[in-house]
Amino acid sequence: MLCQLTLFHKPLKLIKIYNSLLPLKKVLITCGLSFSPLRHIQDPASQRLTWNKPPKSVLVIKKIQDASLLQPFKELCVFLTEKNMIVYVERKVLADPVIQADESFAAVIQKFCTFREDLDDISNRVDFIICLGGDGTLLYASSLFQKSVPPVMSFHLGSLGFLTPFNFDTYQSQVTQIIEGNAAIILRSRLRVVKESREKNARVDKKGIIMTKGDSEGSRKAMQYQVLNEVVVDRGPFSYLSNVDLFLDGHLITTVQGDGVIVSTPTGSTAYAVAAGASMIHPNVPAIMITPICPHSLSFRPIVVPAGVELKIMLSRDSRNTAWVSFDGRKRQEICHGDNITITTSCFPVPSICFQDPVNDWFESLAQCLHWNVRKKQNYLSSKEDVF
């Protein structure tokens, strides 16, 4: 599906933004714009999504094991099929006994296209995504697409809802507006994370004992992830401090001694990072945040680095124990000596559809979800004498 992303109030030329999504810098070049300081700074509210062709397919993602979402899920799916949309649903969602037992919904299920996580590639089949749940549902939707991501519309049916601006009470008019096009959109940057592990060659002796050879004979295994919120390296179940080296563009900048370190996107700055003392950054700011977790140093403060740098995390040679890493809270695994984690800004952001625009939506979430700067107002002084 071809769609049109408007930046600086200038439309692009039929760019396939989520089947082969271009980095923001390349998008600007395609627009015939440059990064000259004489140019007008981009207005986040100017980012618009319009369809060059009407969308025909939609992926509906529902939070698993939440009975309260079954009725909204059914209503939305019936509405989409009546709009002649091709609806994609995860196979495990339809395996819910309550859905299987609903005879009135059986005819709608027959029209669904199903897929399985990590097994079926639907990146070229879906025009946009609708999420029913909380922020974790959006993170899960992001993990399904390791390259280009279709535009995502998120309904607030979870706990916090910082990233889910839409209210389900008026879903019909809101979905119709998205299908018809001309919606505000925000490109949420992701992190491209490559974890390289050293695998040792091993053999089993007659007694069943595993015998390993030297590290020099080991091979390396690389796994790649696309992360929307953050990469967290922590000390895991061990009582000792986490002791990891942090490199920036090949230079050792510091050694983290504490419970761990968070490397987050601007979107992730309002998640684990803010709980660890980091600043909140608007998603349109091109940056990567580095936030220590309970550092054993009074001077180790969170920092913000440019989005174009390459970060590398490794266990220090004198580390007393291994560490653990997770990606958006999932796929948790151990980091051993000789392993390394490379982090860069991904070329494939998540296009999130806004309720109003990127600025108003963000401040609304800060106020409603995090109660930002909420305090009792100071009383007004009625006369000068009241000062004393």
Supply the DSSP string of 143-195, one letter for each residue. Answer: HT-SS----EEEEE-SSS-TT--B-GGGHHHHHHHHHH--EEEEEE--EEEEE
**Alpha carbon 82 to chain centroid, angstroms:** 31
The catalytic position among 135, 234, 339, 361 is 135
Give the span between the Cα atoms of 115 and 120, in whole angstroms.
6
Return the number of other C-beta atoms located less than 10 Å from residue 121's C-beta: 12
Return the number of other C-beta atoms located less than 10 Å from residue 144's C-beta: 20
Give the span between the Cα atoms of 270 and 360, in whole angstroms.
16
Task: Name the DSSP letter for residue 23.
Answer: P
Distance set, CA 57 to CA 54, 113, 350 (Å): 10, 10, 18
Whether 135 is a known active-site residue: answer yes
Give the span between the Cα atoms of 293 and 233, in whole angstroms.
9
Q: Where are the alpha helices (DSSP H) in 181-331?
A: 272-275
Q: Decide: residue 38, CB within 10 A, 0-12 exposed, 13-18 middle, 19+ buried.
A: exposed
Which tokens in the block code for residue 36? Answer: 């000259």
Residue owning tokens 């549902």 = 137
Please list the active-site residues.
135
